[in-house]
Structure 1
């Protein structure tokens, strides 16, 4: 399959063709070229470190990930950060300035895969906000998370609970994927609800066959005490030293990557969470440099459960939409396990075995997705967007939001992973690359 070009850019190009005689307005039109060589005429309205808003000759504005532009145009956008952007006046009369690139995000060529990732001590210092035992409402805070527990927990126990959450956040932030972990809009911290029993957990919406779940609807991670290694000793809860927090790490990865989920294929969503879960972890420390050992241990465990080391039809898996995925995953737990296993095999290949073996294509893909998250954040902060108490929002037709459709949004940047290769070519490269590390995989 030849993947479709960026839908936003095509839509912009079509606008130019249809309105080349239109009034250019107050903006300064200039040619813009994307990474595939297509050229349009538009004016720069504003930019963040990873996205731009361009205004067409007919007055319509479109947001575009900065990574979709050619290197020369990316440099032009960044050069405007020191001065007022050549932007037209907005509907409110204010001219938005071009923002300087974030200093916290390293250029792709300077990113490296970490060795040991250790949670900072200050991250797990616990603040007691409320302890209402009668109401079963106890609230605790670590640096990045707020925990609402049905039972009172000692500072030491709560610190051990927070350790896995904060360590996972630190890991995801440290990987060269370039993920910026920040709580959802309107949240000071990520939120988690801790339930004493599985019955309480299920009553609060937790799936019956799950040990914990992140619900992107209300942005809350829900988990029962047994799934975080808490057991009742007498009248107090203690941490089980033999507890394995793998499932917890998986779901926390979803939580800290929440802003990305709209723009990622499901195989990347689940594959990245499986990747973090398979890394050797103990007491707040991830052995990120032992990723190959983690993968092989995971493969060995899956073989014990009689899973085949296969992805099958690569194109089918990488382009699977969410409804198809759900239809398969909801059939049986085994079918869900197969999808997860295939996904982590694909993610691992793109991170460590593909091309330069530094994950450059995957990192570029994740950077383009980051650009989409920034474009969406910029959109929702724009005064032209009106927010309603029930979560709905409205916007002028001349200022549409980034594409968020589940059928198209997750696949907009898949061409960065393909990099001009056919699926059959990548399947062969994947088979050979895995063979080189001693793993026989079936993929076509």
Structure 2
């Protein structure tokens, strides 16, 4: 019961908070903690230190499993982080994400003559007119990506927007218009963090100009858009030092490499697709980071702590690809393969911790050398050799 016995915590902890109870696992070990959340297979326990850990319900005693089955959070309760965020960590990992293919697209004109199209969670502001059917085609990708990030049990509250609120996407008919607005030269789309907007040229939406209107090139695929959409709905706390770069870009790569077609993300095939995308080229679109299956990796702590300018600099292709492998490892292969250590790391970021203080949760009592060895072992089982310096 690896996650119940946290490094540095004794088998029986005395707590003075009223909602704590004694939890016992199938081996007879126990601790005092308060239940703050649950999913079909896991339970989230708050320790007296304020730390929250996620453990598998099946490892608990029969009495405790019955308690979890009958437990429900009070509607007025707030989680350990001072808000309603804990419930965003407790859902099951999604298998299939599907956007509503029957959704309606509304259209209007802006004060400066721009064309405005709205879907359930997005407002597309275009400098050229598009048909509703064309907008609906690419809006499905935006809506599906939103639902995907929202469904991931990684505590991302920004993806849970209030009803009626929409993310803004600016569309540009010509590349020179996109560049004049601040789009990086050579880019296919960009998230502008200061303005909380995404800017996209038409060609990145797979749009082709016909004789009288724009149409969709159904043979084109685009991994840039899900990547940037993920950035737009990733919580600011996750960009803190020690997480920015490797986690934020790795998560965006994870989402972008997940197989997508016609409003559906096949999340159950994500880890295999990410491996193909990072080590070679995706079978579906022949795009990828092409790092190979024999990877020379830098010192892990230095990689996680590097500045964002360094991350996106001269070795950007490698950094993005390797980060996707790291995020995939922590989501699916680390510890009990339940992302518990990653969730605790993200909880720490939510609590205002950063750098080494937050990374202690990823280490989970391991040294950096031990964590590097476990990452190498986890990926070697899947045919990818990673050798750290």
**What is the deviation of 1:328?**
5.4
1:113 lines up with 2:93 in the alignment: yes
Q: Which residue of 1 aligns with 2:363?
A: 418
Question: C-alpha distance in 1, partners of 2:226/2:129?
Answer: 23
Give, in angstroms, the shift of residue 295 of structure 1.
Answer: 2.0
CA drift of 1:175 comes to 1.3
Three-state SS of the structure 1 residue aligned to 2:220 is: coil
**Structure 2 equivalent of residue 60 of structure 1:** none
Write the distance in 2 (CA, Å) between the matches of 1:201 and 1:307: 37
Aligned to 1:233: 210
Q: Could you say which structure has the higher helix fraction?
A: 1
Asked if 2 retains the 8 angstrom alpha-carbon contact of 1:131 and 1:139, the reply is yes
| CA shift in 2, pair 1:155/1:101, >3 Å | same
Distance 1:229 1:237 in 2: 10
CA distance in 2, matches of 1:338, 1:100: 38
Aligned to 1:213: 190
Structure 1 stretches lacking a partner, 5+ long: 1-29, 33-48, 51-66, 86-97, 373-401, 404-408
Match of 2:47 in 1: 70
Name the structure, 1 or 2, with higher relative contact order (CA <8 Å, separation 6+).
1
Cα pair distance change 1:281/1:422, threshold 3 Å = same
1:272 equivalent in alignment to 2:254: no
TM-score for the superposition, normalised by structure 2: 0.73
User: Structure 1 pair 99/422, CA: closer, same or farther in 2 (3 Å)?
Assistant: closer
Q: Distance in 2 between the 1:367 and 1:99 partners? A: 8
TM-score normalised per structure 1:
0.64
Out of 312, 323, 333, which is 1:329 matched to?
312
Paired residue secondary structure (1:105) = helix
Structure with higher Rg: it is 1
Alignment CA distance shift 1:244-1:136 (3 Å): farther
Distance 1:222 1:311, change over 3 A: same
| Alpha-carbon distance in 2 for matches of 1:68, 1:317 | 31
Q: Is the 8 A contact 1:184 1:219 kept in 2?
A: no
Partner of 2:387: 442
The Cα shift of 1:318 comes to 1.6
> 1:235 offset after TM fit, Å?
1.8
1:167 aligns with 144
Paired residues, what number? 321
Matched, 1:367 2:347: yes
Report the Cα distance in structure 1 between the residues aligned to 2:229 and 2:318, rounded to whole angstroms. Answer: 21
Give structure 2 stretches of 5+ with no counterpart: 1-14, 18-35, 38-43, 53-71, 282-287
Q: Please, what is the CA RMSD of the aligned residues? A: 3.4
